[in-house]
Chain A
Amino acid sequence: MANPNLQLHDDGRLRHFLSVEGLSKQILTDILDTAESFTSVTDRSIKKVPILRGKTVANLFFEASTRTRATFELAAQRLSADILSLDIKTSSAVKGESLLDTLHNLEAMQIDMFVIRHQDSGSAHFFASHVHPGVSVLNAGDGQHAHPTQAMLDMFTIRRHKQQFEGLSVAIVGDIKHSRVARSQIHALNILNTGQVRVIAPPTLLPEHCETLGVQVYHDFDEGIRDVDVVIMLRLQKERMTGALLPSEKEYFRQYGLTAERIKLAKPDAIIMHPGPANRGIEIESSVMDGKQSVILQQVTFGIAVRMAVMSMIASQPGLDG
């Protein structure tokens, strides 16, 4: 079964990228530094480097995705990999093929790297513990567990604007309970020694024992946002309205929506982030989303460089520079 170091080779290099949890500050910093070097590639007129030439990357999405899937595809292309994108809704999985059979059939096509999104928490670990040696798994979101490349592109965005994590106050606002993004962000921020990580949400949108993740819990937005350097808004999924988790969208926006008025309580130079897709008028006011403190579109751009970084580190050979 899965072991704690499933995502590392014996020499400490990255073998899979399944969760931020369990990785060292050094590895996270390496990812950010490597991503930094790739931003220049994405700015060039010929946006390709040959790092993954001859390698095949398969995008395996069991759940809908726009940004993550597109940026993984672009990242693989810019590293010169061949890329196969599978929409599972039209594949044999719906005909009853088991997950493992799907995986092994694709492995038989000599895939080197799988980028997988699946609705079950732990599915990335599951795939990683069943692929052949030499095949890698990148977690593009598993259930409510982890979305590590999203967290790393968020860290990249924060570092670009704030230079360092020490002494920063970061508030994550919204549906923490069901969010794999929040879990990965919290681990990443803590591993990178962020001064203070706050979560702001009503109790129904917080997991039990949330504080054990290493966060300060606020139910009052105005109190929680005070003097923070970074505000990360989370998407509120529409189906949360039907499970008796919240009274109404209107009430949610009033209590937990980010408005121009509220952002004044944060530091004047605070940045506003959102992993997308955002619901304008539900968790975030349109003017704030498009305002000068918003770095939401930069996050998408940086996502390509960060995913290139993770893929290149996984593809690197021992003893050679990744």
Chain B
Amino acid sequence: MKIRIKNGRVIDPASATDRVTDVFIDLQLISAVGSVPDGFVAEKEIDASGKLVLPGLVDIQCRVREPGLTHKASIASETNAAARNGITSLCIPPDSKPITDNSAIVEQIHHSNQKAGNRCHIYTIGALTKKLQGEILSNMGTLKQAGCIALSNAQRPFLNNLVQRRAMEYAAGQGMLVVIQPMDQALYGNGCAHEGPLATRRGLPPIPEAAETAALAKDIELVAQTGARTHFGQISCARSVDMIRQAKKDGLPVSADASMHQLFLTDFDIDNFDTRKLVIPPLRSEQDKHALRAGLADGTIDCICSDHQPHDADAKLKPFPSAEPGISSLDVFLPLLFKLVEEGVLPLAEAIAKVTQHPARIFGLPAGQIAPGELADLIIVDDQQSYSCRSEEFLSAGKNNAFEGWDFSTRVEHSIIAGKPID
């Protein structure tokens, strides 16, 4: 279909575009920005006056719970929620059930997405080791051929540093990006809250900063050793930001993201044992939150992810230490991004780049920009709304909302995925 999006404020960080203009879509691709291409007759016109036209967002850490945990959510429910909330590309980690350590699972995921109507592009991150057990390397070349765009051991440990080194080396040899969530399992222990005054007062098993930073220091050394291109996911500590800043200064091939919720919430938000705010890594201190925001601003942190983890109600209806960690965040991702801009953390174009251009570049995805010849993934956003965040209005199957009652100003009016408007 030929679509003309008229009079929108088109913001495309990749081409440094920010102006009111038209975008022309022909079949799956963007055919022009600005003047009408020769012979273009629009079959559908969308009036975007007063609205923003942005590249569809890219979320590099999103759990859709399929395969394996479909009582919580499914590819159908979460791709719908993502698309209608402006997220047009999802990267899903390998820790599904079964684990994404072979091409059959990759195919199954893409098949499910197709059956659900391809409302969103799904990209799979394959397992670095078989069954994520950290002992035997996965068939990385096969996973790459099946379509995996990166490899990770998710939140599971390696047997030892030697296995991790070999896994990183082999992945590098395949030209694959390695994604690491720095975690020292022993220091994590049975912890469920940041080791700070709140955990001390509430008697919650604590998770020290070193549970992340000690692992990250080792991980950075292994990057230096192997040269493997490595992305650090869901960084939560101020010291981690410093270490990544230094690693970049040293010329190491590293990048990093922070979860959206870490940019707004702190450990004190779990006071009174609010299980909706139980996450791993845990919500950290106010100082950590500010350091993450500063890291975003100075470019140390390249991307923001949703770390979306939809849950059934029972998962959170437990005493805090026994509840399941994770926040359902697809429905709050874009509104919170605009809040970062409102709060002066990032200029609008930079904020958008953190969830479009940068993740697309790091993960090598055909997404994240509005330019002729690019895939026509774009969204039309109304940023003049005023509403209160309510989990019952969530499109995600997970109603585990950590931002209940927050005031938001942004809603997605239209999402177009590969040239197809999503209703």
- Interface residues, chain A, CB within 8 Å of chain B? 1-4, 6, 21, 98-100, 118, 120-123, 125-126, 130, 142-146, 180, 183, 207-210, 212-213
B257 within 8 A of A: no
Residues of A with C-beta under 8 A to B271: 4
* B273-A125 in contact (CB<8A): yes
5 A-B contact pairs sorted by A residue (CB < 8 Å): A1-B272, A2-B272, A2-B273, A120-B319, A144-B205
Q: Which of B95-103, B191-199, B236-244 contacts A (4 or more CB under 8 A)?
A: B191-199
Nearest to B195 among chain A residues (CB) is A208
* A146-B273 in contact (CB<8A): no
Q: Which listed residue (B208, B317, B321) contacts A121, Cβ 8 A?
A: B321
* A1-B274 in contact (CB<8A): yes
Residues of B with C-beta under 8 A to A213: 200-201
Nearest-Cβ distance from residue B200 to partner chain A, whole angstroms: 4
Q: Chain B, 86-115, contact with A by CB distance < 8 Å: what is the 0/1 string?
A: 000000000000000000000000000000
* A3-B272 in contact (CB<8A): yes
Give 9 new A-B contacts, CB below 8 A, not counting A126-B318, A143-B321, A146-B203. Answer: A98-B314, A118-B319, A120-B320, A120-B321, A122-B273, A143-B319, A208-B196, A209-B197, A212-B200
B71 within 8 A of A: no
B322 within 8 A of A: yes
Residues of A with C-beta under 8 A to B293: none
Q: Which listed residue (A4, A6, A99, A122) contacts B202, Cβ 8 A?
A: A122
Q: A-B pairs with the 6 shortest C-beta distances?
A: A122-B273, A144-B203, A145-B203, A120-B319, A123-B319, A207-B200
Task: Kindly identify, within residues 174 to 208 of chain B, every residue whose CB is under 8 Å from any CB belonging to chain A.
Answer: 195-197, 199-206, 208
Q: How far is the CA of A4 from the CA of B318 in the complex (A)?
A: 18
Residues of B with C-beta under 8 A to A145: 202-204
B276 within 8 A of A: yes
Residues of A with C-beta under 8 A to B200: 207-210, 212-213
* A208-B272 in contact (CB<8A): no
Nearest-Cβ distance from residue A246 to partner chain B, whole angstroms: 16
Q: Chain B, 205-219, contact with A by CB distance < 8 Å: what is the 0/1 string?
A: 110100000000000
Most chain B beta-carbon contacts within 10 A, residue among A118, A120, A142, A145? A120
Nearest to A244 among chain B residues (CB) is B186
- Interface residues, chain B, CB within 8 Å of chain A? 195-197, 199-206, 208, 271-276, 314, 317-322
Q: How far is the CA of A118 from the CA of B199 in the complex (A)?
A: 18
Q: Which listed residue (A21, A120, A208) contacts B322, Cβ 8 A?
A: A120
* A180-B317 in contact (CB<8A): no
* A207-B202 in contact (CB<8A): no
Nearest to B192 among chain A residues (CB) is A121
Residues of A with C-beta under 8 A to B196: 208-209
Given A1-B272, A207-B206, A208-B208, A98-B317 contact (CB < 8 Å): yes
Q: How far is the CA of A3 from the CA of B196 in the complex (A)?
A: 21
Residues of B with C-beta under 8 A to A207: 199-200, 206
Most chain B beta-carbon contacts within 10 A, residue among A98, A130, A144? A144
* A121-B206 in contact (CB<8A): no
Residues of A with C-beta under 8 A to B204: 121-122, 143-145
Residues of A with C-beta under 8 A to B317: 98, 100, 130
Residues of B with C-beta under 8 A to A123: 319
Q: How far is the CA of A118 from the CA of B319 in the complex (A)?
A: 9
Question: What is the number of contacts between chain A and chain B, taking CB atoms within 8 Å?
Answer: 81
Nearest-Cβ distance from residue A202 to partner chain B, whole angstroms: 16
Residues of B with C-beta under 8 A to A212: 197, 200-201
Residues of A with C-beta under 8 A to B205: 121, 144
Nearest to A147 among chain B residues (CB) is B203
Q: How far is the CA of A49 from the CA of B174 in the complex (A)?
A: 80
* A121-B197 in contact (CB<8A): no
Nearest to B186 among chain A residues (CB) is A244
Q: How far is the CA of A120 from the CA of B323 in the complex (A)?
A: 10
Nearest-Cβ distance from residue A128 to partner chain B, whole angstroms: 10
* A183-B276 in contact (CB<8A): no
Nearest to B316 among chain A residues (CB) is A1
Q: How far is the CA of A130 from the CA of B276 in the complex (A)?
A: 16
* A180-B319 in contact (CB<8A): no
Given A144-B203, A145-B202, A207-B206, A121-B272 contact (CB < 8 Å): no
Q: How far is the CA of A242 from the CA of B34 in the complex (A)?
A: 70
Residues of A with C-beta under 8 A to B319: 99, 118, 120-123, 126, 142-143
Residues of A with C-beta under 8 A to B273: 1-2, 121-122, 125-126
* A208-B320 in contact (CB<8A): no
Residues of A with C-beta under 8 A to B272: 1-4, 6, 125
Nearest to B274 among chain A residues (CB) is A1
Nearest-Cβ distance from residue B246 to partner chain A, whole angstroms: 25
Nearest-Cβ distance from residue A23 to partner chain B, whole angstroms: 14
Q: Which listed residue (B197, B314, B321) contacts A122, Cβ 8 A?
A: B321
* A122-B206 in contact (CB<8A): no
* A121-B201 in contact (CB<8A): no
Q: How far is the CA of A209 from the CA of B274 in the complex (A)?
A: 21
Nearest-Cβ distance from residue B337 to partner chain A, whole angstroms: 26
Q: How far is the CA of A146 from the CA of B274 in the complex (A)?
A: 17
* B274-A2 in contact (CB<8A): yes
Nearest-Cβ distance from residue A294 to partner chain B, whole angstroms: 27
Most chain A beta-carbon contacts within 10 A, residue among B200, B202, B203, B320? B203
Nearest to B275 among chain A residues (CB) is A1
* B201-A180 in contact (CB<8A): no
Residues of B with C-beta under 8 A to A183: 201, 203
Q: How far is the CA of A98 from the CA of B195 in the complex (A)?
A: 29
Residues of B with C-beta under 8 A to A144: 203-205
Given A100-B317, A123-B319, A126-B318, A1-B199 contact (CB < 8 Å): no
* A122-B320 in contact (CB<8A): yes
Nearest-Cβ distance from residue B321 to partner chain A, whole angstroms: 5
Residues of B with C-beta under 8 A to A210: 200
Residues of B with C-beta under 8 A to A1: 272-276
Nearest to B271 among chain A residues (CB) is A4
Q: How far is the CA of A6 from the CA of B185 in the complex (A)?
A: 35
Q: How far is the CA of A144 from the CA of B319 in the complex (A)?
A: 13
Q: How far is the CA of A180 from the CA of B274 in the complex (A)?
A: 19
Residues of A with C-beta under 8 A to B195: 208
* A99-B318 in contact (CB<8A): yes
Residues of B with C-beta under 8 A to A99: 318-319
Residues of A with C-beta under 8 A to B274: 1-2
Nearest-Cβ distance from residue A180 to partner chain B, whole angstroms: 6
* A121-B314 in contact (CB<8A): no
Q: How far is the CA of A238 from the CA of B206 in the complex (A)?
A: 21
Q: How far is the CA of A213 from the CA of B381 in the complex (A)?
A: 47
Q: Which listed residue (A3, A21, A100, A121) contacts B320, Cβ 8 A?
A: A121
Q: How far is the CA of A3 from the CA of B205 in the complex (A)?
A: 21
Nearest-Cβ distance from residue B91 to partner chain A, whole angstroms: 31
